[in-house]
Structure 1
Amino acid sequence: MSFLFNNYSRRQIHIVSGKGTIVQDDKGKEYLDFISGIAVNSLGHAHPAIVETIKYQSEKLWHVSNLFESPEQEKLAEKLAKDTQFAHAFFCNSGAEANEAAIKLARKHTGKHVIITFEQSFHGRTFGAMSATGQEKIKQGFGPMLESFRTVPFNNPAALEAAISDDVAAIMLEVIQGEGGVHEVTAEFADAITNICKSKGILCIVDEVQTGIGRTGTRYAYEQTSLMPDIMTLAKGLGGGFPIGAMLGTSDLFEAFGPGSHGTTFGGNPLAVSVAQTVVNHIFDNSFLEEVQHKSDYLKGKLLEILPTTYEVRGKGLLIGIDCKEDVTLFIRQAEAAGLLVVQAGPSVIRLLPPLTVTEDEINHAIGLLASVLHIPSTL
């Protein structure tokens, strides 16, 4: 009997240590980690700079409550907002919390209550974020969802236009639907959202929990589109493995979140903020982001070399999906047995999320292992 609830389909390996892209289980077997905690370990495992930051900050201050001023939160907020339209940040502990804050802010600022979201989206498992999510399997068994979320097909401008009404506060989307199958927003759809938001006075919320902090080769994925979000949410890679979330908003929204309107006990604690600053200092360097783009091109190029034309490679940066057009559950297990950790994104998609620090040699090794699992000849 386990003392844990059975709400995770846990894999039967126990990972005990990691360095960079390599992790080791309790039996001494090594694996290439192309999951990264589901896009969390952005600088890999036990990155020296993060380890040093945690050691240093842990001897100074861990937690004091948001009742007190936080110069370090101010510094991190400024770094995240630099050269963007955003002016203010709220720090929390996770992506779901960040999305809850975004939903509350949009409704409070506009005085309206309808938020449009999209089929196959994923925004979290708290009630507001779950209600926003466009996947019925996430909602099954929990009774009625929160009202006022209107879900329409993704990348369908006509369906979006038909869903617009005077009571719409915001349109909420992921630039790339990670959990929903690694589907990118099209240029046409991004333009349609931007035009509707501008012409109708509707807020645009971009969920960058999985795509943000360099994952797609730019600071934020929306920067590669015409989208101009009023609100953006972050988590996962922001802490490089340490729990932290953030919501950023424009200056127009400042008055809506006055004292007492929203809060968190642990959000933005000194330990989390110090780690996030270290992560951002590394990843927001232009040369680092250029390297991510280069590795992405290299990885996608190698995949296209070996994969049959019946397969489809999707995604940007180091958020890559391989649509095998068949159930990939067995492939995931076989890859693990071979020493490669990958994760699904829907029934037919293998999702690759290596640390942003992954090397070309590690990419080559992973491609070779994938080829063997998929029974494809490889020269790597």
Structure 2
Amino acid sequence: MNINNNSIVSKWEEYFINTYSQPDFIIDYGEGSCFFDTKGNKYIDFTSGYGVSSLGYSNNNLKTALKNQVDKLLHTSNLYFNGPVLSVGEKIINTSRLDKVYFCNSGTEANETAFKIARKYSSDKYGEGRGTIISLKDSFHGRTMMSLMATGMDKYHKYFYPLPKGFKYVEKNDIEDFKNNIDSTVCAVILEAVQGEGGVIVLEKDYILELVKICKEKDIAVIFDEVQCGIARTGKLFGYEYFDVKPDIVTIAKGLGAGIPIGGVLVNEKFSKVLGKGDQGTTFGGNLLAMVAASVVLDEISKEGFYEDVLEKGDYIRKSIENFNSTIVVKTKGMGLMIGVETTIESNIIEEKARKKGLLVLTAGKNVLRFLPPLTISYKEINEALEILKDILLEVN
């Protein structure tokens, strides 16, 4: 299609449901941790597609593996065994030290599956009436209906009535609020080690330890949503590893596919036999291209020094921003390459100015910038991005 920047908005509105607001440039290709538009302008990407493009753009190992699979086969359905699915299943189980995995297509689908597992376990063991799921205020767990209701932000609960029932919300890092909301109907709690959409907030270790202890005593399933903060994003395979706990169920997606849609649910032995044949299914889950991509990602992040490199880059970015000594920056937060920058002005102002200067960033609420660069980003690209950010802060100040 022959399209130019002047007509893109009108063309877009002609054909698409208006659920997103895009800037008026057209992305053409990617290289390293940068996008290039059709006019040749470069944009350093501190978003990686909401944490998806974990290996950046034009990664040779990923391209080669995907091209080889395209030449062989694209899809089989889950009616048949195949090598790529087995390979990824073996790698993720051995790496995670959990017991079984189920592959699907997205993070929200993974969370829906996790809720089904928790509720069926509870129904099988205790009968009906024990299906309430507790989540934290300011959490985000997806946009399908149960995941939407697990999301602890009222703004996402409008319009789509009647809404699914069986959800409670408690204050993060407040163990008394959690205790006060436990009753005979509760079957599970879902947590993000780092609340991304909610402001890049790292949960407190003492809170998590006490919460998990209570759940073990009461046979309440502990679900960790690692869709955004998992797969090396925080400098470990999973964010919950910082808390020295063992969850019952873990959901994954985003960075595992490095750009190919994927989701997954990992369970421990206790929950590994809850779902039987016919209890859950997916047409595209375990798709061969997604599995090949996931295999490359798991190989890359398992290389010696990879996690340390993610941590060092994250520390470098945070310390550099703190050393700007800008009155606009309140504080930095996060873990690894999941970084939040709290600001005294609205974050979307900085986001827009950054985009115009060739830096793509995200927001996480009214006054928090969110950085999710590719895990393979170079220091050269980081320094270029920091210079842009420094100039903007000086300009705004």
* TM-score by shorter chain over 0.5: yes
Partner of 1:134 in structure 2? 152
Kept in 1, the 8 Å contact 2:193–2:203? The answer is yes
Kept in 1, the 8 Å contact 2:326–2:393? The answer is no
- Alignment-mate amino acid for residue 367 of structure 1: L
**Structure 1 residue 362 corresponds to structure 2 residue 381:** yes
Kept in 1, the 8 Å contact 2:96–2:237? The answer is no
Picking from 316, 320, 328, the partner of 2:339 is 320
Picking from 363, 366, 369, the partner of 1:350 is 369
For residues 222-233 of structure 1, the aligned pairs below 5 Å read 222-233=240-251
Partner of 1:246 in structure 2? 264
SS of the counterpart of 1:204?
A: strand
The total of aligned residue pairs comes to 378
User: What's the CA shift string for 1:11-62, capped at 9, x where partnerless?
Assistant: 2221110011111011111010111001000000121111001100011111
Kept in 2, the 8 Å contact 1:193–1:227? The answer is no
User: What's the CA shift string for 1:180-232, capped at 9, x where partnerless?
Assistant: 11011101211121111111111100000001110000111111113321000
Shift, 1:75, TM fit? 2.2
Distance 1:326 1:184 in 2: 22
Kept in 2, the 8 Å contact 1:183–1:315? The answer is yes
For residues 148-163 of structure 1, the aligned pairs below 5 Å read 148-163=166-181
**Structure 1 residue 278 corresponds to structure 2 residue 282:** no
Distance 2:226 2:302 in 1: 15
Could you say if the C-alpha distance between residues 194 and 85 of structure 1 is closer, same or farther in structure 2, counting changes exceeding 3 Å? farther
**Structure 1 residue 43 corresponds to structure 2 residue 55:** yes
SS of the counterpart of 1:12?
A: coil
SS of the counterpart of 1:191?
A: helix
Runs of at least 5 residues in structure 2 that lack an aligned partner in the other structure: 1-12, 124-129
Picking from 8, 11, 16, the partner of 2:23 is 11
Distance 1:71 1:230 in 2: 27
Shift, 1:285, TM fit? 2.3
- The CA RMSD measured in Å over matched residues stands at 1.6
User: What's the CA shift string for 1:100-125, capped at 9, x where partnerless?
Assistant: 11010110012130110011100000
SS of the counterpart of 2:323?
A: helix
- Alignment-mate amino acid for residue 182 of structure 1: V
TM-score, length-scaled by structure 2:
0.92
Kept in 1, the 8 Å contact 2:34–2:43? The answer is yes
Runs of at least 5 residues in structure 1 that lack an aligned partner in the other structure: none
User: What's the CA shift string for 1:36-95, capped at 9, x where partnerless?
Assistant: 001000000121111001100011111011011234322212211225441100001100
- Alignment-mate amino acid for residue 136 of structure 1: D
**Structure 1 residue 68 corresponds to structure 2 residue 68:** no
For residues 190-209 of structure 1, the aligned pairs below 5 Å read 190-209=208-227
SS of the counterpart of 1:311?
A: strand
Kept in 2, the 8 Å contact 1:194–1:226? The answer is no
Identical counterparts, % of pairs:
39
SS of the counterpart of 1:18?
A: strand
Distance 1:329 1:83 in 2: 38
**Structure 1 residue 20 corresponds to structure 2 residue 38:** no
Distance 2:14 2:333 in 1: 38
Shift, 1:300, TM fit? 1.4
Kept in 2, the 8 Å contact 1:87–1:251? The answer is yes
Shift, 1:330, TM fit? 1.3
Deviates most, 278-287 or 119-128? 278-287
User: What's the CA shift string for 1:316-355, capped at 9, x where partnerless?
Assistant: 0000000103311111100000110001011111111111
Partner of 1:53 in structure 2? 65
Distance 1:20 1:210 in 2: 21
TM-score, length-scaled by structure 1:
0.96
